[in-house]
Amino acid sequence: MNEYDDNRLESGVGSRRVLFQRRIQYVFNAGVLLVFLLPAVLLTLFVPNALIDRPQISGFVTMVHDVLPQGWGFFTRDPREPAITIWEPIGQNRWEQTSAISNAAPKSLFGFDRTVRTEQYEIDALTQNTSSAGWEECKSGDVSQCLKNFHGSKTSTRSSGEDLRFCGELALVQQSPVPWAWAGTETMMPAEFRVIEAQCHHSERR
């Protein structure tokens, strides 16, 4: 091995070392950010306003908003964003949610379950193929009861793809999650729903 090769080897090792050190630094910085700022962001998002208005807390919250104006969006999508789920008639005059509640739930392996991911693609397609107008209100938040009392017309919607799960009569339900501060209570958030007839056209695998 000549001097040129030695220099290249040392340069390669040095570059890998620098890259490794930078990665360690990035991980460390991210850890520090999460440890110190995540509790503050959660506080601003989920603690009731009555508590935040206290002088001891309001100054701290103001500082957090100045540092992180994006709030929770700095880390991920808004956890309070309305979710669209699928409900289907089970038996006579009874509706149940048949789609997964959340990709991030332990039941769905925190998003690694392929079945849940494909479910979401199917729900998105059904939503896009359905007019944005004509959603029914469910002010009580009791979706099962609202669907039971619904006697309007259904919207016919086409759905195409492989291994389609949601076909026939079903309801698209849009509802915000219950805020963390109200967790453990019987509070139900208002919802909107749309009863549709999904006409499934299955595609064959290639």
Q: Specify the pLDDT at position 29.
A: 65
Cβ(86)–Cβ(97) below 8 Å = yes
pLDDT band at 16 (very low <50, low <70, confident <90, very high): very low
Of 55-59, 87-91, 167-171, 186-190, give the lowest mean pLDDT range: 55-59
Distance CA(70)–CA(110), nearest Å, equals 24
All structural domains of the chain with their residue ranges: 3-67, 83-200
Q: Is the pLDDT of residue 73 over 80?
A: no
Token representation of residue 77: 């999508």
What secondary structure letter does DSSP report for 149?
T
Widest CA span of the chain, in angstroms? 85
Residues 105-135: pLDDT tens digits? 444 444 445 566 678 888 888 988 887 778 9
DSSP string computed for 22-66: HHHHHHHHHHHHHHHHHHHHHHHHHS-HHHHTSHHHHHHHHHHHH
The candidate with the shortest Cα–Cα distance to 102, out of 89, 83, 115, 88, is 83
Question: Please, what is the end-to-end C-alpha distance for the chain in angstroms?
Answer: 52
Chain mean pLDDT for the chain: 70
Q: Specify the pLDDT at position 111.
A: 47
Percent of the chain with pLDDT over 90: 20
Neighbours of 193 (CB within 10 A): 22
Token representation of residue 50: 């009555």
